[in-house]
């Protein structure tokens, strides 16, 4: 019997006032019983509109049916046929605009909790299945992947399964890209990311950390070394600043720096050697998921007041609704329709405040969002000692500056066709390096598409 409840089963979570003081995972996951109950809300529609909403095309009704039958490993097999990082996606995908956004149950009531079910299945598998992945038979071809983030890991996994000898080159000392330096532990435990990477290694993938392509080695040298095809998933790591006075005062961070110190370098732990400012009053400028992550980290590091300062309204925020809600529950103060104009400093050049103006929404701009207009004479000073700029990133210029024949657009992103092929033969690209800052799942989708195209390219060549 289908479960006709209009509401999703609630996700058990740490209490807001407890979790905003620790870095442990916020959402605790469904029990098997809850998962089956939630799975029973799926009507197993014939036209599977949810699948169309998934960037990697997971057969969603099929895996949910397996949950209904309590065949959790069977559900895992279905998911992992399409997605190489299910435990990650179940946690960080914006399901409300993807699979769940298309769910028929969402027309009247809430959609099926597809993301929560995916997470349940992946966690169940990680906990119960110890069988090592079988190493595919080698096809004798070498592929190089640049960047161990979501796009690169997905591409590597798919190519390895097809028998390629895959090497991933990663600039940082740890593989995972944004999954380890950006997304905080409380939203995506690093042990989960490590497990996914260990899974790739079990498939025979080699991970070379501490290797900056464009500096340590170039794309042309990789070809000389015998790699036949290359995927660039180098992300969009270059932080933007606003260009307002006072941005170089001590206590102004890019979200990248603040999150990297906290997550990758573990500055929140007492035994880490990497310092971070434990500020009292923090302003995070921006309205995306990264801004929410930075704000929630700042709170956990002990800040009394953490503000999200965003020039448009809450409805215009690009962050996932769930992240906004979680942030609010944890006591983050939202100052929407406010825009910083200057950062103030004390005599030692530490941040002492941020001057803002109030905004109002005018006509919709080219992106369709109503553009904010300054309210004259509305300026005020927000009392903060730390400012975190979370207003976007652009691709790193290192690879484009050191590789001939790689076309980029005016924003510095690689130009690639729908299969990820760049302007150079055998070189593919995907993820933020092509699109500019976007989501984990879109990067994974691009890695997947490219892997397929790379395989076809090698087959046709030989």
Partner 1 sequence: MYKIVRKKVLNPTVTLMDIEAPMVAAKAEPGQFIILRVDENGERIPLTVADFDREKGTVTIIFQIVGATTEKLNHKNEGEYIQDFVGPLGVESHTEGLKKVAVVGGGVGCAIAYPIAKKLHNLGCEVHSIVGFRNKDLVILEEEFGAVSDKLCMMTDDGSHGTKGLVTDALRQLIESGEKYDEVITIGPLIMMKFVCALTKEFGVKTVVSMNPIMIDGTGMCGGCRLTVGGETKFACVDGPDFDGHLVDFDEAMERSTMYKPFERSRHEETCNLFKKEAK
| Binding stretches for partner 1 (CB under 8 A) | 171-173, 181, 209-212, 215-217, 237-239, 241, 243, 247-248, 250-251, 253-254, 256-257, 260-261, 265-266, 271-275, 277, 348-349, 396-398
Q: Judged by CB, which is closer to partner 1: 31, or 209?
A: 209
Q: Judged by CB, which is closer to partner 1: 17, or 210?
A: 210
- Shortest distance (Å) from residue 8 CB to partner 1: 37
Distance of alpha carbon 67 from alpha carbon 117, whole angstroms: 8
Q: Closest by alpha carbon to 50, among 232, 23, 408, 41?
A: 41
Query: Which secondary-structure segment (H or E) carries 360?
Result: strand 351-364
- Shortest distance (Å) from residue 243 CB to partner 1: 8
Q: Judged by CB, which is closer to partner 1: 49, or 218?
A: 218
- Shortest distance (Å) from residue 219 CB to partner 1: 14
Distance of alpha carbon 45 from alpha carbon 60, whole angstroms: 10
Burial grade of 225 (CB within 10 A; 0-12, 13-18, 19 or more): exposed
- Shortest distance (Å) from residue 61 CB to partner 1: 40
Distance of alpha carbon 438 from alpha carbon 151, whole angstroms: 11
Q: Judged by CB, which is closer to partner 1: 40, or 167?
A: 167
Q: Judged by CB, which is closer to partner 1: 13, or 264?
A: 264
Helix axes of 32-39 and 114-128: crossing angle, nearest 10 degrees: 140
- Shortest distance (Å) from residue 390 CB to partner 1: 12
Q: Return the structure tokens found at 456.
A: 């076809």
Burial grade of 374 (CB within 10 A; 0-12, 13-18, 19 or more): middle
Distance of alpha carbon 157 from alpha carbon 200, whole angstroms: 6
- For strands 386-389 and 165-169, give the pairing: unpaired
- Shortest distance (Å) from residue 357 CB to partner 1: 22
Q: Judged by CB, which is closer to partner 1: 76, or 258?
A: 258
Q: Judged by CB, which is closer to partner 1: 24, or 215?
A: 215
Distance of alpha carbon 104 from alpha carbon 50, whole angstroms: 8
- Shortest distance (Å) from residue 410 CB to partner 1: 18
């Amino acid at each position: 019997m289908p479960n006709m409840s209009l509401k999703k089963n609630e996700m058990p979570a740490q209490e807001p006032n407890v979790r905003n003081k620790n870095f442990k995972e916020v959402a605790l996951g469904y029990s098997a019983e809850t998962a089956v109950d939630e799975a029973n809300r799926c009507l197993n529609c014939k036209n599977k509109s949810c699948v169309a909403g998934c960037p990697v095309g997971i057969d969603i009704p099929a895996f949910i049916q397996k949950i209904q039958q309590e065949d959790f490993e069977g559900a895992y097999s279905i998911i992992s046929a399409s997605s190489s990082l299910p435990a990650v996606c179940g946690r960080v995908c914006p399901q409300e605009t993807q699979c769940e956004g298309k769910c028929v149950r969402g027309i009247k009531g809430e959609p099926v909790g597809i993301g929560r079910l995916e997470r349940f299945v992946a966690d169940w598998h990680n906990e119960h299945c110890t069988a090592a992945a079988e190493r595919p038979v080698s096809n004798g071809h070498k592929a190089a992947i640049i960047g161990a983030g979501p796009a690169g890991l997905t591409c590597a996994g798919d190519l390895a399964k097809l028998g390629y000898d895959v090497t991933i080159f990663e600039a940082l000392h740890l593989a995972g890209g944004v999954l380890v330096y950006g997304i905080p532990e409380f939203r995506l435990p690093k042990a989960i990311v490590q497990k996914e990477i260990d899974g790739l290694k079990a498939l025979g993938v080699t991970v070379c950390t501490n290797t900056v392509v464009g500096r340590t080695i170039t794309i042309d040298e990789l070809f000389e070394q015998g790699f036949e095809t290359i995927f660039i998933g180098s992300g969009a790591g270059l932080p933007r600043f606003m260009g307002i006075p006072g941005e170089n005062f001590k206590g102004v961070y890019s979200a990248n720096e603040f999150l990297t110190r906290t997550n990758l370098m573990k500055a929140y732990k007492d035994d880490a050697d990497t310092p971070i400012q434990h500020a009292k009053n923090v302003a995070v400028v921006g309205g995306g998921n990264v801004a929410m992550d930075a704000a929630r980290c700042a709170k956990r590091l002990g800040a009394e007041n953490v503000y999200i300062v965003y020039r448009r309204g809450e409805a215009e925020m690009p962050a996932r609704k769930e992240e906004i809600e979680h942030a609010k529950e944890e006591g983050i103060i939202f100052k929407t329709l406010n825009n910083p104009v200057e950062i103030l400093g004390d005599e030692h050049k530490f941040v002492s405040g941020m001057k803002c103006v109030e905004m109002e929404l005018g006509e919709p701009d080219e992106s369709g969002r109503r553009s904010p207009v300054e309210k004259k004479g509305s300026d005020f000073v927000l009392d903060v000692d730390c400012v975190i700029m979370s207003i976007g990133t652009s691709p790193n210029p290192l690879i484009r500056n050191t590789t001939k024949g790689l076309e980029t657009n005016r924003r510095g992103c690689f130009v690639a066709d729908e299969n990820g092929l760049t302007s150079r033969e055998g070189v593919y690209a995907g993820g933020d390096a092509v699109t500019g800052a976007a989501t984990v799942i879109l990067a994974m989708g691009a890695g997947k598409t490219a892997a397929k195209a790379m395989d076809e390219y090698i087959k046709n060549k030989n």
